[in-house]
């Protein structure tokens, strides 16, 4: 039944600045291991990257949470690390540990990456665009289809560190010692990923999200670091996308950038919306920014695991903070594998009551 959906592509309407209440909802990492039907497909797909690059599988797991919960947006099933993979870096996902890349430790490894005009890059990513087209054809028309990529700093951090080390110290060290190499890596990611987003939009994505999941690892001793390494490269991507797809709707999730950082995202990058992490007080952020700024978020994934009265209170707090303002309901980071499915149902029922 479609009655629990907000209808009329509510997510796109909010991204155009229209307040919709209660807000439309989706959840970061909504296709994933907390769903038994995902685990089933994942087991037959082989490796995680095989799952990402096989449209039959990727379409199916993208649709699973839409069928089960009627989310207002579907997000393409893929990963931010398919881009380093397409650039020729060795990327693999180790069961129970996460991503592993052969680190870019210096010039030698950087020189081995594909150049921006190498046709092999987008040849490699072709299955992703096929997945997007098929999804747009199969999804209900009221469901917004989101494409995505990682922000240059976040992707560069994985490429340099080789893994999600706790504070991504290798990337910070390189950013301090060989600034020009990091600049060049970020430039390459800006160019390639601008084109990557354009191609997703042309294949059928209604909007895209840029994941800056590691904004919090930028050196906090340098007040300009957030602008220089995060917001400016993102701004260049957004301008580049809009040069080809005018009015493209783009959400920037700037996890770890703090209340100040979140308040600056839309202004400094030209994003259509700021994705708010769980560490930020949403009500306070909403008071600090103009009513016209579009926000998204930000229930703590641990509160979703907890459920019960705590979850109801967290949902109510978001509702209260955003009534009359353009907002898309979401978590403040990705849903985790141990989340009970019933709690997702509880959250949506509370939101839509
Ligand atoms: O949101 C969705 O449902 C769409 C799919 C999606 C995945 N990764 C699938 C995935 C998206 C949008 C991402 C983005 C992503 N990938 C980010 C940014 C968002 C964030 O969480 O901060 C980052 C940092 C990555 C890199 C990455 N991929 C890590 C660190 C891991 C390991 C952690 C983990 O949860 O296992 C992955 C693997 C991954 N990406 C899984 C999924 C469903 C789990 C792999 C599996 O099923 O075995």
DSSP string, 293-310: S-EEEEE-HHHHHH-HHH
If you measure from the C-alpha of residue 29 to the centroid of ligand 1, how many angstroms do you get, rounded to a whole number? 7
- With bands split at pLDDT 50, 70 and 90, how would you rate the model's confidence at 2? very low
Q: Which residue stretches of 204-337 are H helix?
A: 225, 232-244, 258-269, 282-288, 301-306, 308-322
In this structure, what CATH number is given to the domain that contains residue 254?
A: 3.20.20.210
Does the beta carbon of 81 sit less than 6 angstroms from any atom of ligand 1? yes
Query: 174-214 pLDDT, tens per residue?
Result: 766 778 899 999 999 999 999 999 999 999 999 999 999 98
Query: What separation in Å is there between the alpha carbon of 69 and the centre of ligand 1?
Result: 20
Which of 42, 172, 199, 255 is catalytic? The answer is 42
In the block, residue with structure tokens 């997702």: 344
Mean pLDDT calculated for residue range 99-104: 94
42 is catalytic: yes
In contact, 134 and 64? CB cutoff 8 Å: no
Q: What is the pLDDT of residues 291-301, one digit of tens each?
A: 999 999 999 99
CA distances (Å), origin 79, targets 20, 53, 66, 234: 30, 10, 19, 18
Q: Is the peptide bond before 22 cis (omega within 30 degrees of 0)?
A: yes
328, 16 contact by CB (below 8 A): no
Rounded CA separation 129/350 (Å): 35
| pTM summary value | 0.96
Number of structural domains the chain divides into: 1
Q: How far is the CA of 79 from the centre of ligand 1 (A)?
A: 6
Share of residues in the chain with pLDDT > 70 (%)? 94
The answer to whether 350 and 294 have CB atoms below 8 angstroms apart is no
Sort strands 91-94 and 98-101 into parallel, antiparallel or unpaired. Answer: antiparallel
pLDDT at residue 177, as a whole number: 73
Q: What is the mean pLDDT of residues 103-111?
A: 92
pLDDT at 6: 59
226-285, pLDDT tens digit by residue? 999 999 999 999 999 999 999 999 999 999 999 999 999 999 999 999 999 999 999 999
The domain of 107 spans 2-352
Residue nearest to atom 21 of ligand 1 (CA): 334
Pure H helices in 70-178: 82-86, 107-112, 120-124, 126-138, 152-161, 169-177
The whole-chain average pLDDT of the chain stands at: 94
225 pLDDT band, cuts 50/70/90, is confident
Buried b / exposed e along 266-304 (16+ C-beta atoms within 10 A) = bebbbbbbbbbbbbbebeebbeebeeebbbbbbbbbbbb
Is the distance from CB of 52 to CB of 77 less than 8 angstroms?
yes
Residue carrying the six token digits 């796109």: 12
- Packing angle between helix 308-322 and helix 341-351, nearest 10 degrees? 40
Q: Could you tell me the end-to-end alpha-carbon distance of the chain, in angstroms, rounded to an integer?
A: 16
For the question of residue 172 being annotated catalytic, the response is no
Determine the pLDDT at residue 175: 66
CB atoms within 10 A of CB 100: 16
Taking the C-alpha atoms of residue 289 and residue 292, their distance in angstroms, rounded to an integer, is: 8
């Amino acid at each position: 039944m479609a009655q629990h959906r907000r209808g009329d592509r509510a997510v796109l309407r909010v991204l155009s600045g229209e307040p919709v209440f209660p807000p439309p909802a989706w959840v970061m990492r909504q296709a994933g291991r907390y769903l038994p039907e995902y685990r089933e497909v994942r087991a037959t797909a082989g490796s995680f990257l095989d799952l990402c690059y096989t449209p039959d599988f990727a379409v199916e797991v993208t649709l699973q949470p839409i069928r089960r919960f009627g989310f207002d947006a579907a997000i393409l099933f893929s990963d931010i690390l398919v881009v380093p993979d397409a650039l020729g870096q060795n990327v693999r996902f180790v069961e129970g540990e996460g991503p592993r890349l052969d680190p870019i430790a210096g010039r030698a490894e950087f020189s081995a990456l594909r150049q921006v005009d190498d046709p092999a890059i987008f040849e490699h990513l072709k299955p992703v665009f096929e997945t997007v087209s098929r999804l747009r054809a199969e999804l209900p028309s009221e469901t917004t289809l989101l494409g995505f990529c990682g922000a240059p700093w976040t992707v560069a951090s994985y490429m340099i560190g080789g893994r999600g080390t706790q504070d991504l110290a290798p990337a910070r060290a390189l950013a301090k010692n060989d600034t020009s190499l990091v600049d060049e890596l970020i430039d390459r990611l800006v160019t390639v990923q601008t084109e990557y987003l354009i191609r997703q939009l042309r294949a059928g994505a209604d909007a895209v999200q840029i994941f800056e999941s590691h904004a919090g690892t930028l050196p906090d001793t340098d007040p300009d670091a957030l602008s220089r390494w995060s917001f400016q490269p993102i701004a260049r991507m957004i301008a580049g996308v809009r040069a080809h797809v005018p009015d493209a709707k783009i959400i920037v999730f700037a996890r770890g950038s703090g209340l100040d950082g979140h308040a600056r995202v839309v202004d400094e990058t030209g994003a259509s919306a700021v994705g708010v992490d769980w560490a930020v007080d949403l009500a306070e952020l909403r008071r600090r920014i103009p009513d016209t700024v579009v926000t998204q978020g930000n229930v703590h994934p641990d509160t979703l695991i907890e459920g019960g009265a705590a979850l109801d209170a967290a949902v109510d707090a978001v509702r209260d903070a955003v009534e009359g303002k353009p907002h898309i309901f979401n978590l403040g980071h990705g849903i985790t594998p141990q989340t009970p499915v019933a709690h997702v149902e509880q959250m949506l029922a509370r939101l839509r009551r």
